[in-house]
Protein backbone atom coordinates (compact mmCIF):
# COMPACT_ATOMS: atom_id res chain seq x y z
CA UNK A 1 0.00 0.00 0.00
CA UNK A 2 1.39 3.35 -0.96
CA UNK A 3 1.50 6.40 1.31
CA UNK A 4 -1.50 8.69 0.75
CA UNK A 5 -1.09 12.45 0.73
CA UNK A 6 -3.87 15.06 0.64
CA UNK A 7 -3.13 18.28 -1.28
CA UNK A 8 -5.45 21.29 -1.07
CA UNK A 9 -4.42 24.29 -3.19
CA UNK A 10 -6.65 26.72 -5.08
CA UNK A 11 -4.27 27.48 -7.90
CA UNK A 12 -4.60 24.74 -10.53
CA UNK A 13 -1.11 25.31 -11.92
CA UNK A 14 0.50 24.87 -8.52
CA UNK A 15 -1.74 21.97 -7.56
CA UNK A 16 -0.80 20.21 -10.80
CA UNK A 17 2.95 20.21 -10.31
CA UNK A 18 2.77 19.32 -6.63
CA UNK A 19 0.48 16.39 -7.41
CA UNK A 20 2.53 15.18 -10.37
CA UNK A 21 5.83 15.46 -8.52
CA UNK A 22 4.46 13.62 -5.48
CA UNK A 23 3.00 10.88 -7.66
CA UNK A 24 6.27 10.51 -9.53
CA UNK A 25 8.04 10.08 -6.20
CA UNK A 26 5.75 7.21 -5.34
CA UNK A 27 3.00 8.71 -3.25
CA UNK A 28 -0.69 8.38 -3.84
CA UNK A 29 -2.25 11.83 -4.00
CA UNK A 30 -5.79 13.17 -3.46
CA UNK A 31 -6.16 16.79 -4.49
CA UNK A 32 -8.77 19.51 -3.97
CA UNK A 33 -8.95 23.14 -5.08
CA UNK A 34 -11.64 24.19 -2.62
CA UNK A 35 -11.66 24.12 1.18
CA UNK A 36 -15.31 23.16 1.50
CA UNK A 37 -15.03 20.24 -0.92
CA UNK A 38 -11.96 18.96 0.90
CA UNK A 39 -13.77 19.23 4.23
CA UNK A 40 -16.77 17.29 2.94
CA UNK A 41 -14.61 14.53 1.49
CA UNK A 42 -12.65 14.29 4.76
CA UNK A 43 -15.84 13.16 6.47
CA UNK A 44 -16.02 10.11 4.23
CA UNK A 45 -12.35 9.32 3.83
CA UNK A 46 -9.54 10.55 5.99
CA UNK A 47 -6.86 7.92 6.01
CA UNK A 48 -4.09 10.26 4.84
CA UNK A 49 -0.53 10.13 6.07
CA UNK A 50 0.01 13.83 5.45
CA UNK A 51 -1.81 16.93 4.16
CA UNK A 52 -0.29 19.84 2.21
CA UNK A 53 -2.69 22.76 2.61
CA UNK A 54 -2.70 26.28 1.18
CA UNK A 55 -3.79 28.85 3.77
CA UNK A 56 -5.69 31.13 1.40
CA UNK A 57 -8.47 28.92 0.06
CA UNK A 58 -11.93 29.51 -1.25
CA UNK A 59 -14.50 28.19 1.21
CA UNK A 60 -12.80 27.00 4.39
CA UNK A 61 -9.28 28.34 4.62
CA UNK A 62 -6.22 26.49 5.87
CA UNK A 63 -6.56 27.63 9.48
CA UNK A 64 -10.17 26.34 9.56
CA UNK A 65 -9.20 22.99 8.03
CA UNK A 66 -6.34 22.46 10.48
CA UNK A 67 -8.43 21.29 13.48
CA UNK A 68 -10.41 18.87 11.27
CA UNK A 69 -7.22 17.32 9.92
CA UNK A 70 -5.74 17.14 13.40
CA UNK A 71 -8.83 15.32 14.69
CA UNK A 72 -8.08 12.58 12.14
CA UNK A 73 -4.42 12.59 13.14
CA UNK A 74 -3.18 13.93 9.80
CA UNK A 75 -0.01 16.06 10.06
CA UNK A 76 -0.19 19.29 8.04
CA UNK A 77 2.30 21.31 5.98
CA UNK A 78 1.01 24.80 5.24
CA UNK A 79 1.65 26.54 1.93
CA UNK A 80 1.23 30.28 1.62
CA UNK A 81 2.35 33.33 -0.25
CA UNK A 82 2.49 35.31 2.98
CA UNK A 83 5.89 35.23 4.58
CA UNK A 84 4.99 37.21 7.68
CA UNK A 85 6.13 35.92 11.04
CA UNK A 86 2.68 36.31 12.62
CA UNK A 87 1.21 33.92 10.05
CA UNK A 88 3.98 31.40 10.60
CA UNK A 89 3.47 31.58 14.35
CA UNK A 90 -0.30 31.21 13.96
CA UNK A 91 0.10 28.20 11.72
CA UNK A 92 2.75 26.45 13.78
CA UNK A 93 1.27 27.13 17.21
CA UNK A 94 -2.08 25.98 15.80
CA UNK A 95 -0.53 22.57 15.30
CA UNK A 96 0.83 22.58 11.77
CA UNK A 97 3.95 20.46 11.30
CA UNK A 98 5.70 22.72 8.88
CA UNK A 99 5.34 25.82 6.79
CA UNK A 100 6.39 26.55 3.19
CA UNK A 101 6.46 30.07 1.74
CA UNK A 102 5.76 30.48 -1.97
CA UNK A 103 7.66 30.41 -4.20
CA UNK A 104 9.32 27.21 -2.94
CA UNK A 105 11.43 24.47 -4.43
CA UNK A 106 9.69 21.13 -4.95
CA UNK A 107 12.74 19.30 -3.67
CA UNK A 108 12.50 21.10 -0.35
CA UNK A 109 8.83 20.18 -0.07
CA UNK A 110 9.64 16.54 -0.85
CA UNK A 111 12.35 16.43 1.80
CA UNK A 112 10.07 17.97 4.39
CA UNK A 113 7.32 15.52 3.51
CA UNK A 114 9.77 12.69 3.91
CA UNK A 115 11.04 13.98 7.27
CA UNK A 116 7.53 14.32 8.68
CA UNK A 117 6.50 10.91 7.43
CA UNK A 118 9.57 9.43 9.07
CA UNK A 119 8.76 11.16 12.32
CA UNK A 120 5.25 9.76 12.21
CA UNK A 121 6.63 6.41 11.04
CA UNK A 122 4.22 6.52 8.17
CA UNK A 123 6.76 6.03 5.43
CA UNK A 124 7.09 2.62 3.86
CA UNK A 125 9.10 0.56 6.31
CA UNK A 126 10.80 -1.53 3.66
CA UNK A 127 11.50 -0.46 0.11
CA UNK A 128 11.91 -2.88 -2.70
CA UNK A 129 13.43 -1.93 -6.01
CA UNK A 130 13.74 -4.86 -8.42
CA UNK A 131 15.67 -7.50 -6.50
CA UNK A 132 17.05 -5.03 -3.95
CA UNK A 133 15.36 -4.56 -0.55
CA UNK A 134 16.22 -1.53 1.54
CA UNK A 135 15.35 -1.28 5.23
CA UNK A 136 15.75 2.35 6.36
CA UNK A 137 15.22 1.41 10.02
CA UNK A 138 18.07 -1.06 10.19
CA UNK A 139 20.01 0.72 7.44
CA UNK A 140 20.56 -2.56 5.60
CA UNK A 141 20.46 -3.39 1.91
CA UNK A 142 19.93 -6.92 0.60
CA UNK A 143 20.21 -8.09 -2.98
CA UNK A 144 18.67 -11.44 -3.87
CA UNK A 145 18.55 -12.23 -0.13
CA UNK A 146 22.25 -11.50 0.37
CA UNK A 147 23.25 -8.46 2.38
CA UNK A 148 25.31 -5.87 0.51
CA UNK A 149 27.53 -3.62 2.57
CA UNK A 150 27.15 0.12 1.80
CA UNK A 151 29.23 2.79 3.49
CA UNK A 152 27.10 5.25 5.55
CA UNK A 153 27.52 8.04 2.94
CA UNK A 154 26.62 5.66 0.14
CA UNK A 155 23.52 4.52 2.04
CA UNK A 156 22.38 8.13 2.64
CA UNK A 157 22.97 8.92 -1.00
CA UNK A 158 20.90 5.95 -2.05
CA UNK A 159 18.09 6.89 0.39
CA UNK A 160 17.99 10.39 -0.97
CA UNK A 161 17.60 9.08 -4.50
CA UNK A 162 14.99 6.56 -3.38
CA UNK A 163 12.95 9.15 -1.49
CA UNK A 164 12.92 11.35 -4.57
CA UNK A 165 12.50 8.54 -7.03
CA UNK A 166 11.67 9.49 -10.59
CA UNK A 167 12.89 13.00 -9.85
CA UNK A 168 16.28 14.22 -10.96
CA UNK A 169 18.59 15.54 -8.26
CA UNK A 170 21.45 17.85 -9.07
CA UNK A 171 24.92 17.09 -7.77
CA UNK A 172 24.73 20.30 -5.76
CA UNK A 173 21.46 19.25 -4.12
CA UNK A 174 22.91 15.87 -3.21
CA UNK A 175 26.06 17.46 -1.83
CA UNK A 176 24.07 19.99 0.14
CA UNK A 177 21.78 17.38 1.68
CA UNK A 178 24.43 14.79 2.42
CA UNK A 179 27.39 16.86 3.49
CA UNK A 180 25.62 20.02 4.58
CA UNK A 181 25.16 23.25 2.68
CA UNK A 182 28.52 24.63 3.78
CA UNK A 183 30.43 21.81 2.18
CA UNK A 184 32.38 23.28 -0.70
CA UNK A 185 33.58 19.90 -1.97
CA UNK A 186 34.02 18.67 -5.49
CA UNK A 187 30.82 17.56 -7.17
CA UNK A 188 32.93 14.69 -8.47
CA UNK A 189 32.68 13.11 -5.00
CA UNK A 190 29.02 12.46 -5.83
CA UNK A 191 29.93 10.74 -9.09
CA UNK A 192 32.28 8.39 -7.21
CA UNK A 193 29.60 7.49 -4.68
CA UNK A 194 26.97 6.94 -7.37
CA UNK A 195 29.26 4.69 -9.41
CA UNK A 196 30.02 2.60 -6.30
CA UNK A 197 26.30 2.21 -5.49
CA UNK A 198 25.62 1.26 -9.11
CA UNK A 199 28.33 -1.39 -9.02
CA UNK A 200 27.33 -2.87 -5.65
CA UNK A 201 23.61 -3.06 -6.46
CA UNK A 202 23.85 -3.57 -10.21
CA UNK A 203 21.81 -0.36 -10.64
CA UNK A 204 23.41 0.83 -13.90
CA UNK A 205 20.02 1.33 -15.57
CA UNK A 206 18.09 2.22 -12.40
CA UNK A 207 20.16 5.29 -11.44
CA UNK A 208 20.23 7.28 -14.65
CA UNK A 209 22.64 10.07 -15.41
CA UNK A 210 20.72 13.14 -16.61
CA UNK A 211 23.04 15.28 -18.73
CA UNK A 212 23.85 18.69 -17.30
CA UNK A 213 21.64 18.06 -14.24
CA UNK A 214 22.54 15.07 -12.15
CA UNK A 215 21.01 11.68 -11.35
CA UNK A 216 17.58 10.16 -11.28
CA UNK A 217 16.50 6.86 -9.75
CA UNK A 218 13.80 5.53 -12.05
CA UNK A 219 11.25 3.01 -10.92
CA UNK A 220 8.19 1.86 -12.83
CA UNK A 221 5.25 1.95 -10.49
Question: Whole-number minimum distance, CB 11 to other proteins, in Å?
Answer: 5
- The answer to the question of residue 45 lying near other proteins (CB under 8 A) is no
Q: Which of 2, 17, 40, 139 binds other proteins (CB under 8 A)?
A: 17
Q: List the end-to-end C-alpha distance of the chain, in Å, as a whole number.
A: 12
CA gap 52, 22 in Å, rounded: 11
Question: In Å, what is the CA distance from 100 to each residue of 50, 79, 128, 186, 219?
Answer: 14, 5, 31, 30, 28
CA gap 173, 187 in Å, rounded: 10
Question: Whole-number minimum distance, CB 104 to other proteins, in Å?
Answer: 7
Question: In Å, what is the CA distance from 199 to each residue of 139, 149, 188, 192?
Answer: 19, 12, 17, 11
Question: Whole-number minimum distance, CB 32 to other proteins, in Å?
Answer: 11
Measure the CA dihedral 161/166/169/175, to 10°.
Answer: 0
Q: Which of 105, 131, 135, 186 binds other proteins (CB under 8 A)?
A: 105
Q: State which residue, 16 or 128, has the beta carbon closest to other proteins.
A: 16
- The answer to the question of residue 85 lying near other proteins (CB under 8 A) is no
- The answer to the question of residue 104 lying near other proteins (CB under 8 A) is yes
Closest CA to 73 of 32, 2, 126, 122: 122
- Cα within 13 Å of Cα(101), Cβ side: 6
Q: Which of 1, 13, 85, 181 binds other proteins (CB under 8 A)?
A: 13
Number of residues that bind other proteins (CB under 8 A): 31
Question: Whole-number minimum distance, CB 106 to other proteins, in Å?
Answer: 5
- The answer to the question of residue 111 lying near other proteins (CB under 8 A) is no
Contacting positions for other proteins (CB under 8 A): 10-14, 16-18, 20-21, 24, 33-34, 56, 58, 81-82, 102-107, 166-169, 210, 213, 216, 218
Amino acid sequence: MRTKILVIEDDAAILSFITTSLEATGYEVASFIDGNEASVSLDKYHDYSLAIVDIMLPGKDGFELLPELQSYGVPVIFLTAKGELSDKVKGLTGGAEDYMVKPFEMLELLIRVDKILKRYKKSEPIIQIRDVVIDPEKRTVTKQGKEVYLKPMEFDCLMMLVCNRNKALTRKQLLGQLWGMEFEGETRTIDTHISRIRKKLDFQDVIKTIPRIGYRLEVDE
